[in-house]
Every structure is written in structure tokens, then in C-alpha cells.
């Protein structure tokens, strides 16, 4: 029951803890002490090492750990045509801590530039791994929900339907460009579906003047527009996240409010779903997973602490999930990356790799070699 195409029985969301040489180089670059070329040389070297570690622990895929990014989302979105990364009055509020004070503004027509730097980031990854290279980018929904209507120029987009359409088309272009670069495993990272399950986040949307009613349908249409012309040999998954910054979180609430649309109506090949805490609710929403080829990657290994999970407990939870969908439609991974921002979560690199080894070991024990 092992899989030869993604998502794999033992998989990984994307980001890894930034190693010390990379942190030092980025700090030097920000002070003007080294050049962009010197920073890139350090990034290249550390990404090669990271790829080797992923292959060494037995992963069938490798990411670049998002080592060239500060944020999991803003670095990509801020380089789209029509989008700017700007300073904000305050950072994004997590449980007890705030991020750097930056946000996005949409002041032009949204499009994907054919020279987007992330394409070259992928080419480097592909050229340096023996396993399947996986690229992660933020989902199109993230461009809307974080700032809402007030972040989008009313002069450029007097009506929101044209914004949703342009964003969907921009992502369709991104899919085409990544495919041309050799990418066969692409992931749309998405916090928004989890926010739509959170009464607190829905209230925040209302407080800033947005109406969450109908967003599930608009987001489903936008995602499916992005995926409409996806080549048959390309796998595109999504990761649904409740927030991950220095081991903290933002939203809570089970998937029930969104499961029917997200699992049943979005044309993704797979879903990385967080199930490492009670904040995620139960497995009951998995009953909306259509029978067939779609996969749900159960995020039962937490990336928020270094404590290693008990294997029997993880297996027991996988067994619980099979009450609502078949075992052959499940895979296993950490619930999120280990460093959604460059600051990283509160655990050591050794603990991070122990977690990844455990994911591989448990997957073999459940699904065979």
C-alpha cells in the first residue's frame, strides 16, 4: 500500500528550521555586510545539505525548506504583479505573540510574472535531489482573506468578482510555469479554510468590513480556476493550517463548517490536514472525502514541540480516522512545517529530524515497505 506518486505515505508539509549559518548570513545581508550573491551561496549550500538529510531519513520527496524565504506566504505573494509587501501598523496576532509588522496591498491587476524568483528556486531544488522535488506556495485564497477588501484598490478592482477571477487566472499561469520548470508536485498552503472554521477569525473579518458569507463558494471557484488546466501527471495538494509561528497558533475549530466544499468540491489531489491537537476537532468531517484517488495526509505528528509522539498512539488515531474514510486514502506527516517563518518553532534540529524519521517508520509499519 505504499505510494509511488505524491502525496506519499510519509510526507512533509514544507518548511524546516533555518540552520545557524543561514541565520547568520541573512543577518549580515540585512546589515549590508555581505552581498546578495554571497547570501545566495550560503542558501545554496544549506539547501543541498537539507536535501541530503531528507533523502537520508527515507523521504520520497524533498523541499528546499523554504530557506530562501522570510515568510511562508508574503515572499511569494509580494512578487506577484499588482501586489506589494508594505509596512503595517502591527504584526499578525498569534496566541501570545505577534509577527513582524508587514502586510500586502493590491494596487494593480494581479498576475503571475514569468520571471517569478520562485521558479528558479524550484529549478535549483530539482537539480539537486534524487527524489521527487516538492514546491510549496501560498494558496490564492490567502491573497484575499488576510487583508480583505480594504487591502485591495477599489480603483483597480471596483468589484471583487474580477479580483477573484484575475487571481485564479494568475495561479493557473503559475501552475503552467512551474510545470514547464519540471515541477510535478506543487502545494498550495492555506490558512483560510481553517479561519472559516473559527468564530473568532470570522468576527475579525466582519470587524474589518468583510462579509464571510459566500466565501467558501468564491474560494472554491477561484481554486478550481487555478487547477482547471493542470496537466494529468502533476499533483497539486493543499495544506490547511491553523497558524504556526514560533510554536503558537491562531485559529481553532474542527473542519465541519468547510469540509463539504473543501474536500468534495475543490479539485485538489490531496489535503494536508492538521490533527495534532484538540483544536482541529474530530475525524468526522473526513466523511466528505470522495472515494477514489484523493488523499488526506493526516498531520498527527506535531511540529510545535520536540516531544516525540508514541507510535502506538499515532497508529490508534489513524485507525480512528478509517471509520470515516478508507486507509488507502490516508498518508502521514507533521501537522505543519517546522518554520513557517524564518524564526522557526521551539525545538531543535535533532528533534526535527527525529520527528521526520518517526513519520517514515510509522508509515512503513502501517502501509508496508
Domain ranges of the chain: 20-367
Which string of b and e fits 31-64 if b means at least 16 CB within 10 Å?
eeebeeeebeebbeebbeebbebbeebebbbbbb
- Provide mean pLDDT across the span 139-156: 89
Candidates 223, 190, 195, 103; CA nearest to 151 is 103
Q: What tens digit of pLDDT does each residue of 293-310 get?
A: 999 999 999 998 899 999
The whole-number pLDDT of residue 246 equals 44
Q: How far apart are CA 305 and CA 346, in angstroms?
A: 6
Average pLDDT over every residue of 24-38: 93
**pLDDT, tens digit, for every residue of 66-96?**
999 988 888 999 999 999 988 755 544 434 4
The per-residue pLDDT for 74 is: 86
Q: Which of 86, 83, 84, 72 is CA-nearest to residue 118?
A: 72
| pLDDT given for residue 89 in this prediction | 58
Alpha-carbon Rg for the chain, nearest whole angstrom, is 19
d(CA 187, CA 13): 9
Please give the pLDDT value at position 100: 54
Three-state secondary-structure class, residue 28: helix
Rounded Cα distance, 94 and 73, in Å: 16
Q: CB neighbours of 136 closer than 8 A, spacing ≥ 6?
A: 13, 14, 15, 63, 66, 72, 186, 187, 189, 239
The predicted pLDDT at position 293 comes to: 95
Mean pLDDT for the stretch of residues 299-323: 95
- Alpha-carbon distance 357 to 57, whole Å? 6
Please give the CATH topology (third level) of the domain spanning 20-367: TIM Barrel (3.20.20)
In order of 41, 270, 276, the CA distances from 365 in angstroms are 39, 22, 20
Could you give the percent of the chain with pLDDT greater than 90? 73
Helices (runs of H) and strands (runs of E) counted in the chain: 12, 12
pLDDT surpasses 80 at 318: yes
170-189 per-position pLDDT tens digit: 999 999 999 999 999 999 99
**pLDDT attached to residue 96:** 45
Ordered alpha helix ranges (H), 12-77: 20-30, 36-56, 74-77
Residue 349, C-beta contacts closer than 8 angstroms, at least 6 positions apart: 17, 19
pLDDT band at residue 241 under the 50/70/90 scheme? confident
Kindly state the DSSP code that residue 65 receives in the 8-state scheme. B
pLDDT band at 230 (very low <50, low <70, confident <90, very high): very high
Please, which contacts does 81-85 make with residues 24 or more away whose CB atoms are closer than 8 Å? 81/108, 81/109, 81/110, 81/111, 81/112, 81/113, 81/170, 82/106, 82/107, 82/108, 82/109, 82/110, 82/111, 82/156, 82/166, 83/107, 83/108, 83/110, 83/143
pLDDT given for residue 252 in this prediction = 62
pLDDT tens-digit series, residues 335-365: 999 987 777 777 999 999 999 999 999 999 9
pLDDT score, position 35: 94
Identify the CA nearest to 90 among candidates 74, 98, 99, 101: 101
What's the mean per-residue pLDDT of the chain? 90
Amino acid at each position: 500500500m505504499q505510494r509511488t506518486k505524491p502525496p506519499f505515505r510519509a510526507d512533509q508539509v514544507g518548511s524546516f528550521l533555518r540552520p545557524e549559518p543561514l541565520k547568520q548570513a541573512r543577518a549580515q545581508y540585512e546589515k549590508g555586510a555581505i552581498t546578495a550573491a554571497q547570501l545566495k551561496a550560503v542558501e545554496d549550500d544549506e539547501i543541498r545539505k537539507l536535501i541530503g538529510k531528507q533523502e537520508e531519513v527515507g523521504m520520497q520527496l524533498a523541499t528546499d525548506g523554504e530557506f530562501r524565504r522570510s515568510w511562508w506566504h508574503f515572499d511569494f505573494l509580494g512578487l506577484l504583479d499588482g501586489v506589494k509587501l508594505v509596512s503595517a501598523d502591527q504584526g499578525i496576532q498569534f496566541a501570545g505573540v505577534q509577527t513582524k509588522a508587514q502586510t500586502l496591498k493590491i494596487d494593480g491587476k494581479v498576475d503571475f510574472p514569468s520571471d517569478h524568483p520562485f521558479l528558479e528556486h524550484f529549478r535549483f531544488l530539482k537539480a539537486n535531489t534524487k527524489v521527487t522535488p516538492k514546491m510549496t506556495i501560498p494558496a490564492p485564497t490567502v491573497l484575499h482573506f488576510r487583508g480583505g477588501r480594504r487591502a485591495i484598490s477599489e480603483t483597480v478592482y471596483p468589484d471583487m468578482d474580477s479580483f477573484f477571477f484575475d487571481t485564479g487566472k494568475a495561479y493557473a499561469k503559475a501552475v503552467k510555469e512551474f510545470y514547464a520548470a519540471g515541477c510535478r508536485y506543487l502545494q498550495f498552503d492555506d490558512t483560510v479554510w481553517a479561519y472559516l472554521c473559527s468564530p473568532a477569525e470570522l468576527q475579525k473579518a466582519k470587524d474589518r468590513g468583510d462579509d464571510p458569507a459566500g466565501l467558501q463558494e468564491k474560494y472554491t471557484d477561484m481554486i478550481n480556476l487555478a487547477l482547471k488546466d493542470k496537466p494529468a501527471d502533476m499533483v497539486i495538494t493543499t495544506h490547511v493550517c491553523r497558524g504556526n509561528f514560533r510554536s503558537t497558533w491562531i485559529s481553532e475549530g474542527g473542519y465541519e463548517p468547510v469540509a463539504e466544499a473543501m474536500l468534495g468540491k475543490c479539485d485538489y489531489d490531496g489535503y494536508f490536514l492538521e490533527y495534532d491537537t484538540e483544536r482541529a476537532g474530530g475525524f468526522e468531517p473526513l466523511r466528505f472525502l470522495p472515494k477514489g484517488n484523493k488523499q488526506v495526509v493526516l498531520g498527527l505528528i506535531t511540529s510545535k514541540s520536540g516531544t516525540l509522539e508514541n507510535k502506538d498512539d499515532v497508529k490508534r488515531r489513524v485507525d480512528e480516522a478509517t471509520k470515516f474514510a478508507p486507509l488507502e486514502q490516508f498518508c502521514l506527516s507533521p501537522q505543519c512545517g517546522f518554520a513557517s517563518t524564518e524564526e522557526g518553532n521551539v525545538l531543535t534540529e535533532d528533534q526535527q529530524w527525529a520527528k521526520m524519521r518517526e513519520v517514515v517508520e510509522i508509515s512503513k509499519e502501517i502501509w508496508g515497505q
